[in-house]
Amino acid sequence: MDNRCKFWLPKKKRFCANVPLSPSLFCGNHTPRSNSQWIPCPIDPSHSVLEENLEGHLRRCPLLKQVESLTHEPFYQKGINAGQEEDQQEIEAVGSERVEDSALPDEPKSGEFNYILSEMKRTVYSMSLRDFYKLVEKIESVHKSICKDICESYKVPEACGMWINREVDRKLPFQEKHVMQQVSILGNMEEVGVIKSSVAKERADCDDGNGFPVRDDCDYDNGVPAVVEFGAGRGYLTQMLADCYGIKRVFLVERKSYKLKADRSLRQKERLILQRLRIDIEDLNLNAVGTLRGGPYIAIGKHLCGPATDLTLRCCLGEQSNQSNGGGSVNPNLRGLAIATCCHHLCQWKHYINKKYILDLGITKEEFHVIIWFTSWAVDADHGTDLPDVTDCGFHLESIEKKQCDGDNGVEDVVRNMKSVERAALGFMCKQIIDMGRLMWMKEHGLEAQFVKYVPSTVSPENHLLIAKSTKLS
């Protein structure tokens, strides 16, 4: 007993059996250490390491080989899609007259995102009720002026019948809420002409059920471009697209490793070419992917969290994707795009795709970060039933104005006393303002774009879709 670690294990009801480190009473696992001794791993900041062990950890970090191999890939270009903290558009928009607001702090440095969220929460709660009232009034006014034409567009295309009727391989995971979302994403793509149901019908007429053509004149690839799924995860959105629309070239972009991926099922499809790119969208030069270079493609993404939507848009339509076209504003290879957005509370000013649009609306950079904090309120309400239409504004201001008259309640008390449905509606307004900036940017870059509500909030509160097609398809 004297030669054992003195850390008590409550579940096992005994002391740790490891040998203590001299002169400590505890083993290496249980020696008390302050938080200052732990630092983020430079290779993978998602985990931490003791500062004293950093040198040895860097030689055996599990992600070391992956990072080293990635840096030698021609499509890897560090930060190519990241954007800039202060870009030229912002400088031109603001000019020499910078909007000042004493209630909001200076912008934290890039990379301190957790600090931004906590600081914005403290900042909002420290605002005067009058300043908070003015900020909410600005949000509602902006939303009313730019978010008038968001329509409901829940589509169930005939081509997806095999998934709707559960006629797919039983080994494939089937969750109704995810199938409903994927079906509607594809239905909206078909509606605007990015994909064609005739291709699926031709495939059904030509296929013998096992992936082999029954006629010599069948051409599956006729008019069907490649598909690049960003933030692909396990890849089941692409799985449905390949099952129902005959896509034959697939690129799955995902920085994390997943089990139970759709890759095995996709690779079993006759004549389908699959390539998984394990890379952060921020560092992906899509124009340098050799097997895709010069060919037409469709970009898709389901629930691209926070800035991943902005990174994807910049990857597909940014300057680097147009270099082969002489620097023009339209990427000739992008035929269409469908992105279901989500997690707007993770957005950052540096990555946001349309800073000029936000500034032109009278929203400052500091207010933008307050707005992204407000977006987290969108999930406050019970989504068992549909939320009231957020375009029906005014109740927030009346609620807050009443609190002003009741006494000296601060902003924190006002927020706490707001109904969850009121906070959710304000959160959705902020989410839609952010997405409308993205929509305008897509239109400015030569796409015919729409922003729709593609499933009811009872299916998912993250139910908005950016959908666009190239004018070449018109």
- Residue-wise pLDDT for 340-359, tens only, equals 999 999 999 999 999 999 99
Report which of residues 453 and 129 the model is more confident about: 453
Cα torsion at 381, 385, 390, 392 (round to 10°)? -120
Quick one: average pLDDT of 314-323? 74
Query: What pLDDT is stored for residue 386 in this prediction?
Result: 53
Which letter does DSSP use for residue 301 in this model? E
Distance from C-alpha of 180 to C-alpha of 302, rounded to nearest angstrom: 12
Quick one: average pLDDT of 175-188? 94
- The structure tokens 């349309």 sit at 354
3-state secondary structure of 252: strand
Per the CB < 8 A criterion, the answer to whether 442 and 466 are in contact is yes
Query: What pLDDT is stored for residue 106 in this prediction?
Result: 40
Return the percentage of the chain with pLDDT > 70, whole number.
77
Segment holding 179, helix H or strand E: helix 176-192
Tell me which of 27-41, 154-168, 332-346, 402-416 is least confident. Answer: 402-416
CA 429 to mean position of chain CA atoms: 18
At 414, is the pLDDT very low, low, confident or very high (cuts 50, 70, 90)?
confident
**Res 113 pLDDT > 60:** no
Query: What pLDDT is stored for residue 151 in this prediction?
Result: 93
Which letter does DSSP use for residue 386 in this model? P
Quick one: average pLDDT of 412-418? 86
Query: What pLDDT is stored for residue 400 in this prediction?
Result: 56
pLDDT tens column, 186-239: 999 999 999 987 544 555 455 544 444 444 444 444 456 899 999 999 999 999
Please state, in angstroms and as integers, the Cα–Cα distance from residue 419 to each residue in 49, 126, 178, following that order: 43, 21, 29
Distance from C-alpha of 7 to C-alpha of 200, rounded to nearest angstrom: 64
Please state, in angstroms and as integers, the Cα–Cα distance from residue 18 to each residue in 6, 21, 135, following that order: 9, 9, 58
Name, of 89-98, 125-134, 157-166, 432-441, the range with top average pLDDT: 432-441
3-state secondary structure of 134: helix
Quick one: average pLDDT of 46-68? 83
Report which of residues 3 and 279 the model is more confident about: 279
At 397, is the pLDDT very low, low, confident or very high (cuts 50, 70, 90)?
low
3-state secondary structure of 151: strand
**Res 96 pLDDT > 70:** no
Query: What pLDDT is stored for residue 179 in this prediction?
Result: 93
- What is the average pLDDT score of the chain? 81
**Res 392 pLDDT > 70:** no
At 252, is the pLDDT very low, low, confident or very high (cuts 50, 70, 90)?
very high
**Res 101 pLDDT > 60:** no
- The structural domains of the chain, with segments of one domain joined by +, span 8-56, 151-473
- The structure tokens 């995971």 sit at 173
**Res 285 pLDDT > 80:** yes
Count CA atoms within 13 Å of residue 300 on its CB side.
34
Number of Cβ within a 10 Å radius of residue 117:
16
At 319, is the pLDDT very low, low, confident or very high (cuts 50, 70, 90)?
low
Quick one: average pLDDT of 128-143? 91
**Res 474 pLDDT > 90:** no
At 402, is the pLDDT very low, low, confident or very high (cuts 50, 70, 90)?
low
